[in-house]
Structure formats: structure tokens, C-alpha cells
Structure 1
Amino acid sequence: MASGDRLHISAVHKAYGRRPVLRGAHFSVSAGMLAGVVGENGSGKSTLLRLAVGQLAPDRGTVRRFSALGYCPQKAVVNDMLTVAQHLRLFQVAYRLPGLGRAWELVDLLGFGGERRTRAGELSGGTRQKLNLTLALMHDPPLLVLDEPYQGFDWDTHQRFWQLAGRLRSQGRSVVVVSHLLHDVQHFDTVHHLREGQLHAQGTTG
């Protein structure tokens, strides 16, 4: 384990009944790293994610997080009856933030500032995902775990996402992007494939 690690998963095993899902998985993310995890549906990505963010405990092995965490799940954690602005104020209280400057900066960067008073239930799928991502990032955590974060984004927002991810990395944040299919692999410092319960590192062209 390196001294600069923000997330360290070591020799993790997890099974559901007699069905093993993870079989000695290793994964580390250090400060200022953009890491990708890719795997087919059913490969164990959801289990790995839940372990990484503390929603699930391993049967064997260790999971250590050394900083505050921002988690963007694939399914948006929004209330259809609340507006965008109401969501931000709710999470401001939850995160104990003094203001919403960072949140509105993210809203503008992701290009949905015109939806401030729109209820989540009236947003398009892509805009709901923008809100989902904003809620995960607005407290500016050192470690970010993002599950299919650009699902439903148009091309312009897709490019904005990668600009944001690059900016976070340059600021020393650690960013983990999990997907069944990783695009733009040149953006990553490292990519890991989840196969047969283990993570296999692949070099990138970035």
C-alpha cells in the first residue's frame, strides 16, 4: 500500500451463498489519479462498488478509504418532487456546507443552469444524471467513485465531463470511473478489467 493512496482494496473476496463474485481483488487509487474499472454485466462491478464506498463488507481482505468520499451511483438519488435548487439546499445541509457556490459552479459547468426551478421528475434522463453527478461532487471530496457517470449525456456534456475530470485530477483529487464499457481510455491513468473476480490492469495511451 502506497502512502498516498486514497482507496486501497487488498485481497478482497465476496460471495453470495455459494456463488463467488470477487476472488482476491486488488485495487489502489492514489492522489491525482483518474482510474477506470470496466467489466461486463454480472462481472461483479456493483459488488466492488458497494465494497469501495462502504455499503458492503468483504468476506475476506481489506478495504481502506483515507479521505472523504463522493459517490455517484448509476441510479440517480433524486426526489422527483424536488426542484434542482431544492436538491442542492438539501445536500448542503447534509454535507454541512457554508454555501452553494461550488454546487452552482458545477451546475453551470455541466450546462443545466436553466433548470434550477425544474422538478427532478420533469428533467430528461441526461439532466437527471447531471444533477446526480453534481450532488456527488458539490462537497469537493478528495475521492470520487462514479458509476456510469456520463450515462445519457449528449456529446457536449460528455466533453464537459472529461474537462471536469481532468481538472479534478490536476487539483489532486482521486477519480474512479466504473462502467461496462469505457470510452476515451486516453483520459485515464490506469484501466482495470474485472474478470473472474479479479482486477487486471491495462496500460492506457494517455
Structure 2
Amino acid sequence: MKKRNAEETKALILSNATILFAKYGYDGMRVDNLAEISKINKATIYYHFKDKSFIFETILLEMSKLILDEIKIKVENENTIEKKLEAFLDAVIHIITTKRDLAKIMMQELALNSKNLSDKAKEDFFKIIKILTDILDEGKKAEKFIQIDPFLIHSMVIGSINYYYSMKEANQNEANQNFKVPFYDNAALYIKEMVLKYILK
């Protein structure tokens, strides 16, 4: 078996830690379990990360960077304010629907009033809100959008899509066929369209 280098080991730790944080939450994640599923000893984990909170912060900072990069790429390529708003929503939806463990961690932290977030992580997440705020302000000045609270829009998109997909995943894992209900593959698109119809004049 090929020996992992330091970067590969760190990536493995973060990947498995993301799974455990998403499943058990911050308080329920145990470094012992992380070492077990990573097939490394705890000393190796502590060599790369000083403690559990540092692992968690690293994951959150990577998540916020991922979202910011996705938003910037999509938004900067558009030349109308309507398309910029749509691009912002597309970027957030893409992360929520393709990075499910990260999305679950995000929702857990919001539910816990962000008690485990560092100041740096909070700052990065507020940068995301600032981009949305600027888009909405520009659209309002151009008389394209209604006056709307950016936090409300952000919460509507993240909350509704994350909840929908979490329920869909739970439904897929339901063994009893009597409890299974139909879920749609393009639900995120419907939610985006509802938000756009609400904001656009």
C-alpha cells in the first residue's frame, strides 16, 4: 500500500471529519471515531490539527471559500442585475445540493446560533451575505427588485432547499414502503423560481 504524504493525510482527516460532523454534530463528533474510520492513530490527527475545534474551523473556512468562489465565478460573468441574482442563487444551490455534508453542518450551526463558529468563519459567511446585499441594493435602485431583507432571502433559499433534500434523503432510507412519498429531482429549481418571482418587479 502506498504511504500517504502529509497533505493526503490532512485531506483524509478533513473528509472523514466532515462526514462525522454532519452525522453527529459538533458535540457528538469524537476524535476516537475519526481516528478509527481514517485508520490512523489520534496522535497523527493531533499532529496535523491541534484539537477538534481547529478541525471544525478548517472545514468551515474551506466551505465558505468554496461558496464564495462559486458565487464570484457565476456572478461576475453576468452583465444584468437580474442575471447576477439568478447566478448567486445558482451558486448557493449548487453547493447545497452537491456538498450535502457541508450543507448539513451549516444548518446545524445556524440552529445552534453559530456557537461553534470562529470569528474568521463568521466573517467569511457574512461576505456571502454582503454580495447578496449589494445585488439586491443595485436591483432596488434600478427599480428591478422589491425592497427585501437579504438575510430573509438567504435563509429562504438555504433553509428550504436544505430541508427538502434532508427529507428526501430520509425518505430514500425509509424501509417501510408505506411511508415513502414522491420527491422531485428539480425541486431546487422550483424554489429558485419562486424566490425570483417574489423579488422581481
TM-score computed with the length of structure 2 as normaliser: 0.30
Q: Which has the higher contact order (CA 8 A, sep 6+)?
A: 1
- Greater strand share, 1 or 2? 1
Computing the radius of gyration from Cα coordinates, the structure with the larger value is: 2
